[in-house]
Amino acid sequence: MNTNILYIILGAFVAYLMGSFITAIWYGKQYHNIDIRTAGSGNAGATNTFRVLGKKAGIIVMVIDIFKGWLATSLAVLLIHYSIIDPKQLDVYKLIYGLCAVAGHIFPIFERFKGGKGIATLLGMVLSIQFEAALLCLTVFLIVLIATKYVSIGSILSALSFPLMIIFIPRFHTETPIVIVFGFAIFLMVVLTHKKNIKRLFLGEENKTYLIKKKVQ
């Protein structure tokens, strides 16, 4: 096997392992003596951590998950540094490594392949690929969350906004069309990981998250 291919595969595996570090599980056990998967919605992510362990824990988990997504995706830069790939291929390999990290978060090898939904890790991935577009996606998420109180709807619509921005906003146009394909693939993945949430939304049973709480008079 070509040495360069070996390095590319190794990088993808490292990105997957980074994604497999589930912050919510580690933080819950380390500082609250609780397995976050046994409380609340049972999801090992920032949203459930926020609901079960509080705002501080939720923010810490979210920030670390975003960072690991960004760092795992940015591993692709090393492939250029060591002349393993052409600089024009950077976005493609960032996508591959980022998706490996997200897959690691959803199917973590350290937690019997049962992790979270990967939304914060996905945001870190998009931050590495298209920083400004990622900030707009985050803005969409926050606006939808504040308006509807549903994290699931915010996550789905913000994921959809990424490929649409690349298509319709000239500033974000890319010379790598596969980025658009991956964008829609990411959107589909977010929808699939939120199947239970979508079902609860239709049944009127989905949990609400109040980012801005009204003061009690």
pLDDT of residue 182: 86
In whole angstroms, give the CA distance from residue 76 to residue 89. 9
pLDDT in tens, 158-197: 999 999 999 999 988 887 788 889 889 889 989 998 999 9
Low-confidence ranges of the chain (pLDDT < 50): 216-217
Q: Please report, to the nearest 10 degrees, the dihedral formed by the alpha carbons of residues 166, 65, 204, 191 taken in order.
A: 40
Nearest to 28 by CA among 13, 42, 16: 42
pLDDT of residue 76: 96
pLDDT of residue 215: 52
In whole angstroms, give the CA distance from residue 71 to residue 183. 19
Q: Is residue 25 classed as helix, strand or coil in its secondary structure?
A: helix
Q: Is residue 115 classed as helix, strand or coil in its secondary structure?
A: coil
Model-level pTM greater than 0.75? yes
CB within 8 Å of 69: residues ≥ 6 apart? 19, 98, 101, 102, 105, 120, 121, 122, 123, 124, 125, 127, 128
pLDDT of residue 62: 95
Region of 216 please: left (phi>0), alpha (psi -120 to 50) or beta. Answer: beta
Contact present, 162 and 216 (Cβ < 8 Å): no
Rounded to 5 degrees, φ, ψ at 45 are -140, 180
